[in-house]
């Protein structure tokens, strides 16, 4: 049995592993953040218990503390 056969089901569909799913989701998130930065000039992220605005010029600004 080849490695290709081990990654597909009997009916030919590929397995979706947790590792693959996380990798693709992370890559998609990075691509979306780059696109948003180009369009809007900033992105909002959660960082160290705060909502933080990261601007295209490299500056950051704390917007609001996340309630715990």
**What per-residue confidence (pLDDT) applies to 5?**
52
Q: How far apart are CA 8 and CA 68, in angstroms?
A: 43
- Rg of the chain over CA atoms, in angstroms? 19
pTM: 0.63
Contact 22, 35 (CB under 8 A): no
Closest CA to 66 of 54, 53, 48: 48
pLDDT digits 0-9 by tens, 12-64: 888 888 998 999 999 999 999 999 999 999 999 999 999 999 999 999 999 99
**What per-residue confidence (pLDDT) applies to 2?**
46
């Amino acid at each position: 049995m080849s490695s290709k056969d081990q990654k597909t089901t009997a009916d030919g569909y590929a397995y979706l592993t947790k590792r693959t799913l996380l990798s693709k989701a992370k890559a998609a998130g990075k691509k979306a953040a780059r696109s948003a930065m180009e369009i809007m000039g900033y992105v909002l992220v959660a960082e160290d218990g705060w909502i933080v605005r990261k601007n295209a010029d490299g500056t950051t600004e704390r917007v609001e503390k996340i309630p715990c």
